[in-house]
Amino acid sequence: MTESASFMVDDADVPALREAIANVARAGYSEGSVRERLGLDDLTDLQWRALPMYRAERLIKRDPLDLLTELFLLQGALPADELDRLFDAPRQDLLIRAGLLAIDEAGTARARASLFPVGDRLIFSDHAWPELPHPGYAEVPYDQVMQVGLDSRHLLRCTRRRPVRAALDLCTGSGVHALLAAAHSQRVFAVDINPRAARCTRFNAQALGATNVEVLVGDLFEPVHGERFDLITANPPFVPSPVNTLRFRDGGSSGEDVQKRIIAGLPQYLAPDGIAQVVTELGEREDEPLVHRLREWLGDAPIDIHVLRLREYSASKYAIGHANGDGYGAFLDSVQAWADNLRAQRYVRVVSIVVSFQWSVPVCGPAWERVDESPPPNRAAGTEIEAAFLAERMARTPDFRENLFRRAGAIALQDACVLGSDLRAKAKATLLGQALTIEHHLDPMEREILCRADGRVGVQELLTMFQGYDIQEQQVIEAIRSLLRRRLLETA
């Protein structure tokens, strides 16, 4: 196996390294182009088991985009003549000195790190599949730097992007979230307890020319004690693991060792108008809402919580998916160990979520928790999450009754009924054009309000609409608030 990258570069080589990476970008190596070339709906769909098909069916032009994808994403090998088409001799020497490239005695080149396209940016990290041709974590170094994978892309797409004074990225890994925040932040602090991850982040900052990113080695908030931040992001170790083999992955037997401490620290480090966003997985127990655990970790802090549920896995599927071992017997023993650990935690499923936190607005009443479900976003969705906070607060303002409302943009209404049944049709509504495709189930009253609100309508008019029915005024008010919270109604 090719030796892993050291993520170190001499200052004298930095300008040439930046130019080499810029040439890679100019060759068309970007998230959209690579996704299209590999025939994927999203780069999160990339699978190591499909590598032979990508090579045989998609990388057939052998143009620069094919070769760069093979070398830096699919962890393949290039013969000398193909490498020469990408980089001349001085640039090859530079990439070798920078620890990004290895060339064997036969002239065959392999990347020592992967270069992950994230939008129009390129981020180095360790390979996604360290043990090809049989990926697993048994022999992976403890200080492995996490690739820009599924969770990273979920968080970066859900992050709110607006100009801020100071941003903090905890458990920074490759630094992808810190480097994206650098584009709209005056100062960015990237913190990781793993010195090798800090080196990787610093290396990426040098390669991208991000001069406003300060990389710190330390335990979560410890290196930034006394600071407050307008944006806090974190992709912590969260896997409820019976082993402790990967620093970037394993969060103790409960999976909560690190993320609990991050959330508990938010009241001390989140600025008054700031937002904190964490991508994680949480084990779910029967009859115990996840938001109760999050609220407990926050203590008495008046902070609103928005939970976006993306995926869930049964405990058995989760155990099988994380088990490894050489040979059938060892693999089954590993499955048993993972299953036993989940059972000991009373987890019946594990849920993939993005959690966002903002300080409550006192005029809107007590701190609230809200849970939405959506397929994982495949494009920027930060504004949608911010809109959820705004909508929730609008529904709770004291002057709520004084507003005029209207239907929010294009809404698809779908009725479904059982043939031959006397039951009223069930309705669903989808707000078209939003990044998060959330279907909202409607009760009959909510559906009638949406149908009436095709123009400007006041609360009193909607109340009048239901006079003569056995419906209390408060029921109508709560239906209007519910539609506002789900962004199916908006102020006119």
Percent pLDDT > 90 in the chain is 62
Q: Both 334 and 415 in a single domain? A: no
Q: Of 332, 366, 396, which closes a domain?
A: 396
Tell which residue, 276, 161, 265, 264, has the closest CA to residue 230. 276
Residue 464 has pLDDT above 90, yes or no: no
User: Of the ranges 174-183, 333-342, 439-448, which is most confident?
Assistant: 174-183
Q: Are residues 256 and 379 in the same domain?
A: yes
The dihedral sign for the CA sequence 393, 396, 400, 405: positive
Q: What average pLDDT does range 263-271 have in this prediction?
A: 97
How far apart, in whole angstroms, are the C-alpha atoms of residue 315 and residue 289? 17
User: What's the pLDDT score for residue 418?
Assistant: 45
Does 419 score more than 80 pLDDT?
Answer: no
pLDDT of residue 17: 94
- Model confidence at 41, pLDDT cuts 50, 70, 90, reads very high
Q: What is the pLDDT of residue 133?
A: 53
Q: For residue 122, tell me if it sits in a domain.
A: no
pLDDT per residue as tens digits for the range 119-168: 889 999 999 887 655 455 556 777 889 999 999 999 999 999 999 999 99
CATH of the domain at 167: 3.40.50.150
pLDDT of residue 416: 52
Give the type of residue at 168.
L
Whether residue 409 sits in one domain with residue 388: no
Asked if residue 308 lies in contact with residue 372, where contact means CB atoms within 8 angstroms, the answer is yes
Alpha carbons 230 and 362: distance in angstroms, whole number? 19
* Residue 465 belongs to a domain: yes
Do 387 and 242 lie in one domain? The reply is: yes
Mean local confidence (pLDDT), 102-129: 92
CB within 8 Å of 388: residues ≥ 6 apart: 306, 370, 372, 485, 487
Which of 396, 411, 429 is the last residue before a domain boundary? 396
Same domain as 76, residue 189 = no
Between the CA of residue 464 and those of 367, 448, 457, 479, what are the distances in Å?
32, 13, 11, 14
Query: For residue 244, what pLDDT is reported?
Result: 78
Same structural domain for residues 380 and 421?
Answer: no
Q: What average pLDDT score do residues 188-193 get?
A: 97
The confidence score (pLDDT) of residue 433 equals 64
Residue 57 and residue 193 in one domain: no
Kindly state whether residue 195 falls inside one of the protein's structural domains: yes
Q: What is the mean pLDDT of residues 235-247?
A: 85
Residue 472 domain flag: yes
pLDDT of residue 138: 53
Q: What is the mean pLDDT of the chain?
A: 89
Q: Is residue 19 part of a domain?
A: yes
What's residue 485's pLDDT? Answer: 85
Domain boundary among 112, 138, 173: 112
Return the higher-pLDDT residue of 399 and 269.
269
Residues in Cβ contact with 428 at an 8 Å cutoff, skipping those fewer than 6 apart: 413, 414, 416, 439, 440, 441, 442
For residue 138, the Cα-to-chain-centroid distance in whole angstroms is 26
Same domain as 406, residue 352: no
Q: Are residues 343 and 446 in the same domain?
A: no
Work out the average pLDDT over 468-492: 84
Residues 348 and 421 in one domain: no
435: containing domain: 400-491
* Same domain (yes/no): 187, 228: yes
The pLDDT, as a whole number, for residue 432 is 59
Whole-prediction pTM value?
A: 0.90
Rounded to the nearest 10 degrees, what angle do helices 315-322 and 328-344 cross at? 140
The CATH number covering residue 476 comes to 3.90.930.50
Q: What is the pLDDT of residue 274?
A: 97
239 found inside a domain: yes
Using the Cα atoms of residue 177, residue 152, residue 86 and residue 10 in order, give the sign of their dihedral: positive
Range of weakest confidence among 3-17, 34-48, 150-164, 426-440: 426-440
Q: Within a domain: residue 295?
A: yes
Q: Is the pLDDT of residue 54 over 90?
A: yes
Compute the chain's Rg from CA coordinates. 25
Same domain assignment for residues 294 and 154? yes
Given a cut of 90, whether residue 427 has pLDDT beyond it is: no
Number of domains in the chain: 3
Per-residue pLDDT tens over the stretch 327-346: 888 889 889 998 999 999 99
484 belongs to a structural domain: yes
